[in-house]
Amino acid sequence: MKRALIVGSGKSGKGATKLLKKLGYMIYVTDDKQRNLKGVYGDGFLRSLSLIVLSPGIPPNHRILEIAKTYGIDHLCEFELGVLELSCPCVMITGTNGKTTTTLLVHKLLENSGFGVVHLGGNVGIPVSSFAKETAPQDIAILEASSFQLEYKKRSSPHVAVLLNLAPDHISWHGSMESYVRAKLKIFEGQTNDDFAVLNADDELVMRLAKNLQANVYYFSTKSRVKGCFAESGCIYFSDGISTSKVANTSDLKILGEHNLQNALAGVLVSILLGQDFEKIRKNLAEFVGVSHRLEWIKDVDGVSFFNDSKATNPHSTITAMNSMQTDTTIILGGSDKGNEFDEIFLKAPDKIKNFVCLGETKPKLLESAKRCKATNVFEADTMKQAVHLAFNLSKNGDAVLLSPACASFDMFSSYEERGKVFTKIVRGLEKHEDKLKRKTAFKAKNKST
């Protein structure tokens, strides 16, 4: 009997176990990611393995990869294990920001599209391996692909590959920006001229690096007319390179911001390439309300609007969120360090960002950045509750408070979802007419303005 070792026992590990059992493997699972596996399992066990499956997040310098090479054991990520076992074509969507929104939007836009079942999976939290064997040839799978998952991509290829944007992220995990970009570009490997590649024509890095693609290339843009989907004069258009047709009005969108218009253009383009008709696209587009923890309005308290953008785990995403705000805003920043730099946040902050509240593991780094960039009205907090109350205290009627950390969450929370839920709970606990405490006496928060 074939033997497989699964590294990681979370959702991905459970999905891989389910699939590999169906494929006739004897399964072994380890959850100690940094363990000396050779010492634990022994030479004989390792030589008996025919496959190692990696859960997302296992870094490229992990000991298990050295072992796989030494013993000649085939290895792949759970994501690709699942993709290789799909019976239907798939769409893969990646990018530094907007992956989840666009993936969920495409899934929504393809409702009543003529496909048997429209499956959803990947980095959205549904392991592909958990449903791969339940797919049929007439189905379609819409998959969010992270750079962690694409790092190990070797043999799979999507029918439609989407690259939304590129900006520095997960540098500490990949080792360099070059390695991060190389992982993202793997999404196009294996495609042929029967497939489609969808690119953001407004992203300079995407356009410079995504070259010599074998698939049929289409674009989306909010700035110019392109072969693909573009926005102009309040309308969304599709062009096949010869003729142009109106698809929908931008006012049909329930998700706000320039970045979400780009996500919508990408989603509409994918849906058209897969054969969805315009009338159904318009209907489904108008019903899509966005993603939790992504510029999610929570409530208004004493005239101050609170927004949860906990999913913003890098500076590029946070800058996008800041530019989406419609009124004077206090932003809450900080979390665990992914190796990113923060100067850009303070240098590119629009005038409507009036105050910065910094917390978490990256607080010292953020404060240094703010000082270097000569940012003013920069404050610090020790807890999320303290940050929320301080931001509320700094705001006046008609202002907004935005949680958009630009960092991962693992210093204080188990995930960005938990961070967003804690923020939301604190906000919902604020009384409508709560007395605004003086920040110096209530929180001893020192103004770090320079």
Contacts of 149 (CB under 8 A, 6+ apart): 56, 77, 79, 80, 122, 123
- 46-65 pLDDT, tens digit each: 899 999 999 887 888 888 88
Residue 404's CB is within 10 A of a number of other CB atoms, namely 28
> Quick one: pLDDT at residue 40?
64
Domain ranges of the chain: 2-72, 80-287, 296-443
CA distance 160 to 171: 27
Tell me the pairing of strands 235-239 and 228-232.
antiparallel
CA distance 234 to 221: 13
Tell me the CA distances in angstroms from 132 to 16, 27, 101, 245, 323, one per residue in order.
10, 18, 22, 36, 39
Contacts of 46 (CB under 8 A, 6+ apart): 37, 38, 67, 71, 73
Indicate the Cα dihedral angle 146, 151, 152, 156, nearest 10°. Answer: 60
Q: What is the CATH number of domain 80-287?
A: 3.40.1190.10
Q: What is the CATH number of domain 2-72?
A: 3.40.50.720
CA distance 334 to 340: 11
6 - beta bridge partners? 29, 53
> Quick one: pLDDT at residue 171?
84
Residue whose pair of structure tokens reads 């001893």 in the numeric block: 444
- When the pLDDT of each residue in the chain is averaged and rounded to a whole number, the result is 91
pTM of the model: 0.74
CATH tag for 296-443 (out of 3.60.130.10, 3.90.190.20, 3.90.180.10, 3.40.640.10):
3.90.190.20
CA distance 301 to 38: 57
Low-confidence residues in the chain, pLDDT < 70: 32-40, 431-450
